[in-house]
Amino acid sequence: MKFKYILILSALIGQILSLSAREVTSFNEGWLFKRGPFSQDPVKVAAQWNADWETVNLPHTWNAKDMQVKADAFYEGVGYYRKTQFFGNELKGKRVFLRFEGVGANTEVYVNGKLVGMHRGAYSAFAFEIGTALKLGAENEIMVKADNASRPDVIPVNHNLFGVYGGIYRPVWLIITEQNNITVTDCASPGVYITQRNVSKRSADITVKVKLDNGSLTPADLVLENTIYTQNGKKVTSHRLPLVLTPQGTQTYISTFKLNKPHLWQGRKDPYLYKVISRLLADGKVIDEVVQPLGVRRYEIVAGKGFYLNGEKYPMYGVTRHQDWWGLGSALTNKEHDFDLAQIMDIGATTVRFAHYQQSDYLYSRCDSLGLVIWAEIPFVNRVTGYEAENAQSQLRELIRQSFNHPSIYVWGLHNEVYQPHEYTAGLTQTLHNLAKTEDPDRYTVSVNGYGHAEHPVNQNADIQGMNRYFGWYEKKLQDIEPWIKGLEEKYPWQKLMLTEYGADANLDHQTEYLGDALNWGKSFYPETFQTKTHEYQWSVIAKHPYIIASYLWNMFDFGVPMWSRGGIPARNLKGLITFDRKIKKDSYYWYKANWSKDPVLYLTQHRNIDRERKHTSVTVYSNIGTPQVYLNGKELTGIRQGYTDVHYVLDDVTLEQGKNTIKTVATYNGKEYTDEIEWNYTGEKKRSADWSENKEEHAGWSVSYTHLRAHETCADLV
């Protein structure tokens, strides 16, 4: 039966491709690249311009190395891309567009020396019509100027929280249509907007809005057909609308449908997708076509209770993701996106905050089909200049229009830890909220604060209030998370609150058994074991407080921060559960997998903490398959107890032998035996590391220092 459905779907896709007049082809091969800086001397510029162009394929960034290896030692500025392309006479009467998925950060595009468009912002797509600048039947030169230098009028206004990689780091597409088309240049959106109301198991009201454009000087008699298909390609319902499309601007047409007993999109359990195909016909022939997903679902957030999907409470097990990879920067292929999503699915996450900027549309599409509930946001982070308001609105508008039809997106992120001046930031956030509600009334908005109190001057300007809290790392002690939550529960029960970042850094070369309740982040010792302790305790608190509607640990992967030099590794944020090169999963990864995933997990912690400091130590096992057995050098240990959650098992007083020690854990689940094993070496007691701040005066000193930083609104630089 499954094979039959595949054949039906293949036949449908074949029919679509044969009927559609829109041509979309890759424009990523055979570019020439030259990086600046360029001399101001005209003679030197000419010589520099004509020499040593590098052949590259897209995606490409010039910062793949220098933004990742040394703090504050990377190139930000101008780079040029050139491509020669033959366009034949068969394009006469057609419309030709270039669509860029992402260029870091500010772009000018020229065709045969003519400026065809400019774009400001590194993370949203943009499309320019280039047909009138082309010479048909001849070679044409496409020139792209990219500039990733920080600007006060373009968000983000600095590289402090993450690096804005320079270059054409996402794919480029050549789009060819007839004169009359579904618009390509409406903020580079699909030109089709699908809304859904009154969603239940019984029915759903679906509206399909399509924007059309006539590029000729003659009105055209056309038919717009919107059709909904099942996931297997069976037509559900269709609407045909005859129209006369004039050349006077983009025009909007609407079809409405009522789906009876819809197959609901149910998150990871059942991410069912319908398909909406919008076709434009002239004289009975399809002249343009756009295909979009439809996941029929209803999101609801109830303050103090939780997140609801289609009327049922839904667990929000959240991670965050920065897009860059070690050695690649932001120039990723779908293979890298798929790898990251596979890890996110494996850990058992149900929701992802894609921070702190618009990410690949391919990524959002995969979340639709995987059933991940996601948060998409703009890069309004860290600082304000007073000049970025127009660009922040533009980037939000682009994000919403380009991503409107992804059922996985439940919220638009407006800002993250942006403060002084408070009045300006609050006002701009209100403006962004109003813009989001105008563009998309049916989704939530969220803004994020690094302070822990609801009455902060920039708060309460969005539907959801996010707060980033790093107890035990940047402030106070690990245990202070619970009184913080309880205080907000009692004082602000009406507030829709999310814990939008929490965690601690972990350098895998740094290990210790001596764990206090707070770490001086300002020193260079960032042990993995403290990160593990942070997540063990703090998730156990979060899990029992439904007042926290959703929580998002920071971060799924280590990522580049070119302005930093901390924890023994320059240009790196080490808070990931997986290393920057995606090769090693830290202990915290398995903690969450054991708590969240339905897959069997049996894991001994401290695989890398091999050289033991204490003869009398503890052993921790994560097991979601029942109480494990634990053996030391072949002898079973007794006295195992349950820790913070029902997957957390601890042996408190384990005595190591001199030299090599083998620890093994065993558990049986559904008739299958699972094991994990580690080796520890003990050669004698070692002193507590001097990097720990257990002394009350020292702890108070760095805690006050952190409070001082917060007071001066610089906390965004920390996380």
The residues annotated with a catalytic role in the active site are 417
Residue with tokens 């971060």, as numbered in its chain? 555
Taking each helix axis as running N to C, give the angle between helix 528-543 and helix 481-491, from 0 to 180 degrees, rounded to the nearest 10. 30
Q: What sign for the dihedral angle of Cα 55, 61, 65, 70? A: positive
Read off the tokens for 91: 């394009």
- Separation between Cα atoms, residue 153 and residue 171, nearest integer Å: 25
Q: What sign for the dihedral angle of Cα 347, 345, 629, 631? A: negative
Residue with tokens 């009359």, as numbered in its chain? 180
b/e 209-238 (16+ beta carbons within 10 angstroms → b): bbbbbbbeeeebebebbbbbbbbebeebee
| Sequence letter at residue 494 | W
- Separation between Cα atoms, residue 569 and residue 581, nearest integer Å: 14
E-assigned strand segments in 648-719? 648-655, 659-669, 672-682
Which uninterrupted H or E stretch holds 530?
Answer: helix 528-543
Tell me the residue length of the chain. 719
- Separation between Cα atoms, residue 340 and residue 679, nearest integer Å: 30
Q: ∠ CA(617), CA(621), CA(622), 5° rounding? A: 150
Q: Which residues pair with 115 in a beta bridge?
A: 110
Read off the tokens for 53: 């162009």
Q: Which residues pair with 636 in a beta bridge?
A: 631
- Separation between Cα atoms, residue 370 and residue 342, nearest integer Å: 10
Read off the tokens for 693: 């701040």
Report whether 478 contacts 471 (CB < 8 A).
yes
Provide the terminal-to-terminal Cα distance of the chain, rounded to the nearest Å.
51
Give the strand pairing for 54-56 and 78-87.
unpaired
Task: Residue 153: name the closest of 407, 391, 461 by CA.
Answer: 391
Give the strand pairing for 54-56 and 31-35.
antiparallel
Q: What is the CA radius of gyration of the chain?
A: 28
Task: Residue 447: name the closest of 407, 385, 396 by CA.
Answer: 396
- Separation between Cα atoms, residue 393 and residue 429, nearest integer Å: 10
Report whether 292 contacts 278 (CB < 8 A).
yes
DSSP output for 482-503: HHHHHHHHHH-TT--EEEEE--
| DSSP single-letter state for residue 301 | E
For the chain, what is the total number of helices (H) and then of strands (E)?
Answer: 11, 40
Report whether 82 contacts 141 (CB < 8 A).
yes
- Separation between Cα atoms, residue 86 and residue 30, nearest integer Å: 13
E-assigned strand segments in 362-418? 373-377, 409-416
Read off the tokens for 512: 């210790």
